[in-house]
Structure 1
Amino acid sequence: MILVTGGLGMIGAHTARALADLGREVVATAHHRAAVPSFLSGRVTVEHLDVTDRDAFHAVTERHGVRDIVHLAGSVPGEDPIGYFRADIAGLLNAFEVARVRGIRRFAVASSLGVYLGHPATPWHEALPLPATESPHPIIAFKKAVEPLTLDGLRGTRVEPVILRIGSVWGPLMDPESPFNPTMPYLNAALRGERPPPVPADDSGDACYAPDAGRAIALLTAAPALRYPIYNVSSGRPRTGRALADAVAAAVPGVHPELLPGGTPGPYLDITRLAEDTGFAPDFDTAAAVAHYVAWRAANPR
């Protein structure tokens, strides 16, 4: 049995589905979110769990005979960053304790492409030294701390840590007006019949469709053996403003996004390690991802 904390969130739900597609038994936990996505209904076991509750975390793991953990649960900072750090660190430490006490085989945990911010090299790959720069957001600050905490917290045990440096993921179940990913408000302006704000044609950066991200994490969790403790999770290719605008024009009738000339190539994640160790390749290019998302939203609010 594989435990996916935050298993009804965007990345967690797509990870749970991909694990089920691989034939694995999955228990997905959720705290605030109760709605089970249609693509998970009847395919996974769902448990309510506040990961800051140490005893409840142990109980869920024991009850289901969990052997692997994918720890994706997390909160969103409000006006009190200390409260955010306290809650998410408590959940992380509880997850470590469960992994150590119960002899978990593999422990995968979410980090972020944000750990590379400030590094001039592109694409960003796992062997790069991480810049000691100020974090632009508390979530990135926490993710930078997750990595050494995980490696040291599980050191000396038989638990195999896997750090997931997750890229710029978007897609079904994400807040349509998410402030964390510009793809979402851009697409949802188009779905309202509005022209999205113009973007430079040659601007580019990291982008990964949620079903692809979930499948990558599932493959890393289920792999018989891994060579590294850290893996980038994304599409492995930059997406341009032109590609996004063309995909929206093709998928949303009557909407013709405006492009600005020029643009700046941005950083994106290298997924060579992921591809070599799991055979992963993305199923969705930009056009396929936008078409799939538009079809999803026709029947779903987010």
Structure 2
Amino acid sequence: MILVTGGLGMIGAHTARALIDLGHEVVVTAHRRTEVPSFLAGKVTVESLDVTDRDAFLDLGHRHDIGDIVHLAGSIPDEDPVRFFRTDTAGLFNALDAARTWGVRRFAVASSLGAYIGRTEIPWHEDLALPLTALPHLIIAFKKAVEPLTTHSLQGSGVQPVVLRIGTIWGPLVDPESPFFYIPPYISAVLRGEKPQPLYADDGGDCCYAPDAGRAIALLVTAETLRHDTYNVSSGRPFTNRDFADALQAITPGLRLELLPGRQGGPGDNPYLDTTRLAHDTGYTPAFDVAAAVADYVAWRADNPR
């Protein structure tokens, strides 16, 4: 059985779905979010768990035969950064403690494409040294710290760490007014019949539809062998705002979206993740391009609030 913490969140739920599709039993933990998505209903075991509670976390091992862990649970910072770091570090350490105690095969943990901020080479690939630079958000700072904390904690344990440098993910279950990626609010405005604020046509960069991200993570967790401990998780190809506008217009009769010419910051390239390593070790290829992702998401939103 595979444990997915934060398994009712967007990335966790799609990871659980992909693992089920690969024939695995899955137990997911939930804390604040308790509604089970329709595509998981009746297919996963749901455990209510605050991952900062070490005893409760370790007790899962008495009820389930857990062979791998995907740690995706996390919180949103408030006005107190120390409280945020304390909470998410406690959850990480309890998950690592469980991995070592239970002797699981693999421990996959969420990092972020933000770890590469400061590198000018495009696309970003796993062999780049991570720069020491100011980071724009507490979540990115924590995700970057997760990497050495995880790999050093598992040294000598027999548990293989899998650091997931996850790209810009969106799709079913994303916050429709997400403060982290402007495309979901843009689509939400269109679905409400409103005229969204115009975007610069050539701005864009990394982007991956959630079902593809979930499948990538599932393939990394279940692969017979992995040659590396760190993998980029995304589509492996950049998008532009023009791609999204064209996709929305193609499925919405009469819709005309205004785009500003060029890039807001002037000529240049938009950063995105190289997924060559992921594809080589797992055979992963994304199933959704922008047009297919937009069509699928709009159909999903017809029956779901997020």
TM-score (norm 1): 0.98
Cα RMSD over matched residues? 0.8
State the partner residue of 1:276.
280
Seen in structure 2, the aligned counterparts of structure 1 residues 274 and 184 have a Cα distance that, compared at 3 Å, is same
What is the CA–CA distance in structure 1 between the aligned matches of 2:101 and 2:199, rounded to whole Å?
51
* 1:281-300 paired onto structure 2 within 5 Å: 281-300=285-304
* 1:130-145 paired onto structure 2 within 5 Å: 130-145=130-145
State the partner residue of 1:197.
197
Shift of 1:252: 3.0
SS at match of 2:70: strand
Q: How many residues align?
A: 302
**Structure 2: unaligned runs, 5 residues or longer:** none
**Structure 1: unaligned runs, 5 residues or longer:** none
Shift of 1:253: 3.5
What is the CA–CA distance in structure 1 between the aligned matches of 2:5 and 2:87, rounded to whole Å?
14
Aligned partner letter, 1:281: T
- Alignment check: 8 A CA contact 1:194 1:255 kept: no
Shift of 1:62: 2.7
Please, which moves more after superposition, 213-222 or 58-67?
A: 58-67
Moved over 6 A (4+): none
State the partner residue of 2:82.
82
* 1:91-170 paired onto structure 2 within 5 Å: 91-170=91-170
State the partner residue of 1:265.
269
* 1:41-80 paired onto structure 2 within 5 Å: 41-80=41-80
What is the CA–CA distance in structure 2 between the aligned matches of 1:252 and 1:172, rounded to whole Å?
19
- Alignment check: 8 A CA contact 1:242 1:259 kept: yes
What is the CA–CA distance in structure 2 between the aligned matches of 1:179 and 1:19, rounded to whole Å?
29
- Alignment check: 8 A CA contact 1:106 1:159 kept: yes
Aligned partner letter, 1:301: P
- Alignment check: 8 A CA contact 1:99 1:159 kept: yes
- Alignment check: 8 A CA contact 2:212 2:286 kept: yes
What is the CA–CA distance in structure 1 between the aligned matches of 2:254 and 2:85, rounded to whole Å?
45
Please, which moves more after superposition, 254-263 or 41-50?
A: 254-263
Aligned partner letter, 1:38: S
Shift of 1:265: 2.7
- Is 2:220 the partner of 1:237? no
Shift of 1:255: 2.6
What is the CA–CA distance in structure 2 between the aligned matches of 1:156 and 1:11, rounded to whole Å?
29
- Alignment check: 8 A CA contact 2:67 2:104 kept: yes
* 1:167-246 paired onto structure 2 within 5 Å: 167-246=167-246
- Alignment check: 8 A CA contact 2:122 2:269 kept: no
Shift of 1:212: 0.4
- Alignment check: 8 A CA contact 1:10 1:174 kept: yes
